Amino acid sequence: MEDFLRFSNDNLWSELWPELTLALGAVLILLIQLFSNKAATNICGRLAVLFQVVLLGYLLLDYLLIHHTFDRSSFSGMLRHGFQGDLMRTFFLLASICVSILGNRFLLTNKLKTGEFHHLTMLATAGLMLLCQSANFIVLFVALETVALAFYPLVAFDRSSSKSLEAGIKYLIFGALSSSLLLLGIVLIYGVGSNPGAWGAISPSTNIGMDILSFEFVGLLLEANQTNLLLRSGVVLVLAGLAFKIGAAPFQIWVPDVYHGSPTPITAFLAVSSKAAGFFLLLNLVNGPFDSMSEFLLPLFGFIATFTILFGNLAACAQRKLKRMLGLSGVAHAGYLLVAVMASMHFAGDSDRAVWVIFFYLFIYLFASFIVFGVMGIATLKDDSDHEIGHYEGLLQKHPWAAISLLVGIASLAGIPPFGGFVAKLMLFNVAFEAKLYTSLVAMVIGVVISIYYYFGWIREICFEPKPHFDDDNEPIDPWTKMHQLGLLKLLIITFAVVSFVFGIWQGPFGDAF
Amino acid sequence: METISPSHYLFLALCLFSIGFFGVLLRRNILLLLMSLELMLNGINLALVTFSRTSLNLDGSIFVFFIMTVAAAEVAVGLALLVALYKKRQSVFSEDMNLVSN
């Protein structure tokens, strides 16, 4: 027992309690699934939601009331914890709860096993939480792969559907390719860093006991060798690997296909959590170890952001399938956020304002996305992946609560006042203007106008009377028939709609960023 | 006779990585695609071990273990997905993967 205590204290294992608890819960869910009889399988879903809600409650209680959060590191500097990391933990846990709730509905209608789904979702979330605390490239890689390996089977979860399987294979190949690029970048940095000749001003005394792959050392190394070609290509490759994850052009090829084929809850999971993690990591890297490369990276980022915004929005216009449209619109959102990342690089030393805007934007994006995907999850279609605008005609007359929530979600995504998305975009414009990123600002304004155009087609379809069908001999199937027993999902959608509206009027502490 | 220097190893590593990379871009058979992905990771492993050996720094060697584990896990998931897909579609060629498209 004493040995165990010493072991635990040396490495500060207790700093990782949310991740450990979540992973333990995931294993527990799998065991319950394994040993329960068929009739009781639905218990896994309820248990998973309950477990995560309790964990989230305790997490918030811990940060706000018991242990006020402060910057600290554990595992000999391999992990770094702080307020921003804690905020991201809350974010991922909230998203994970929503995915579980959406997933329960999806699994029920498709008659799939529940245990594995929740197990993988919770493991992915634990990996995402760890990813945001990492301060070393080894931990970064391992956490990133934990997340990716949990995501591949989730994307292909509906094994009876060829589309889902195909999306899974595509995601696996692109994901593995992107992590290879990331690894090559890390290897190049390590190759230079392991050569004492490149240390320059870093005196040997500060190096003792310092990992070459830690963010701190890489930061010093890059500062000492700002024009080294190997290091520059290393940095670009690491960022390219991350650009794959966030779906920034020209690495967005996988986004529409994978979003289209995967089950609706997982599309939401990819759109919200995976992207948010990529952005937090990007923010950590460009303001941490890659800080001294800012002058070299900014033009590159500027080009990528502009290209991403315009490409995402223009490509979304041409889509008939809703999931592809939302995916490409998500690409455009990644472009907007990249502009905020650039702004944070411009405010050297005082990047906090841009960082808060990014956090606010991510939370608003979470609320809006889960409203939209939640309502999409309610619709019972023959094929889960083939949502089209036509399925939504006259929803306002049939089910006003779903339609109004969906309208709020769409308006928030498109950035129509007075909803949260509008304020978040306004804040983004504001920081971009202050950082003097005029070209990107113009691209953002054009992008928002285009996005209102294609979202408006959807809004029109929801609001107006269904058109009479003349030449169809078979009556179109109404997807909005099974609207009873929604329980938590209905609560979730309505709550998020209210929250989106409230944040559009009152931003609380985030409002200070103006 | 010339001895083998670290740069030889690095050149081999780069060759392996490039073969893998172009394999992923050009191959049509998904099994070969997965093999190419493994080849890329092997090239990276070789480079890491070389750097680690020349500088006598152990970080790189430790990293290799993690990469090997991840590569094994990745290929396990990939093959499982491929088998499931083959049962449905009777094909492992990427040009037949056209269900999720516009």
pLDDT of residue A41: 61
- pLDDT at residue A471 is higher than 80: no
Per-domain residue ranges for chain A? 290-466+478-514
- Kindly determine whether residue B57 and residue A194, on different chains, have CB atoms separated by under 8 Å: yes
B32 CB near a chain A CB, below 8 Å? no
pLDDT of residue A404: 92
Q: Which residue has the higher pLDDT, A333 or B98?
A: A333
B14 CB near a chain A CB, below 8 Å? no
Number of domains in chain B: 1
Q: What span, in angstroms and rounded, lies between the C-alpha atoms of A52 and A457? A: 37
Per-residue DSSP letter, A273: I
At A154-179, the pLDDT tens digits run: 999 988 888 999 999 999 999 999 99
At B47-67, the pLDDT tens digits run: 999 999 998 888 899 999 999
The first and second tokens of residue A490, run together, are: 């209905």
Range of the domain at B12: 6-91
Instruction: Please indicate, yes or no, if residue B1 is contained in any of the structural domains.
Output: no
Instruction: Please indicate, yes or no, if residue B100 is contained in any of the structural domains.
Output: no
Residue A487 pLDDT level (bands cut at 50, 70, 90): confident
pLDDT of residue A272: 94
Residue A81 pLDDT level (bands cut at 50, 70, 90): confident
Q: What span, in angstroms and rounded, lies between the C-alpha atoms of A312 and A315? A: 5
Instruction: Please indicate, yes or no, if residue B23 is contained in any of the structural domains.
Output: yes
Per-residue DSSP letter, B99: S
A250 CB near a chain B CB, below 8 Å? no
- Residue A181's nearest CA partner among A233, A133, A129 is A233
At A425-449, the pLDDT tens digits run: 998 998 899 888 899 999 999 999 9
pLDDT of residue A474: 56
- pLDDT at residue A467 is higher than 70: no
Residue B49 is part of a domain; what is its CATH number?
1.10.287.3510
ipTM: 0.95
Share of chain A above pLDDT 70, in %: 91
B20 CB near a chain A CB, below 8 Å? yes
Q: What span, in angstroms and rounded, lies between the C-alpha atoms of A328 and A323? A: 9
Nearest to B59 among A153, A156, A213 (CB): A213
3-state SS assignment for residue A321: strand
Q: Which helix (H) or strand (E) holds A44?
A: helix A42-61
- pLDDT at residue A206 is higher than 60: no
At A243-294, the pLDDT tens digits run: 988 988 888 889 999 999 999 999 999 999 999 999 999 999 998 889 888 8
Cα-atom radius of gyration of chain B, to the nearest Å?
17
- Kindly determine whether residue B66 and residue A142, on different chains, have CB atoms separated by under 8 Å: yes
The interface residues of chain A toward chain B in range 286-325, judged by CB-CB distance below 8 A, are 318-321, 324
Instruction: Please indicate, yes or no, if residue B82 is contained in any of the structural domains.
Output: yes
- pLDDT at residue A204 is higher than 60: no
At A25-69, the pLDDT tens digits run: 999 999 988 888 765 567 888 899 999 999 999 999 888 887 777
B44 CB near a chain A CB, below 8 Å? yes
Residue A130 to chain B, least CA–CA distance (Å): 16
- pLDDT at residue A385 is higher than 80: no
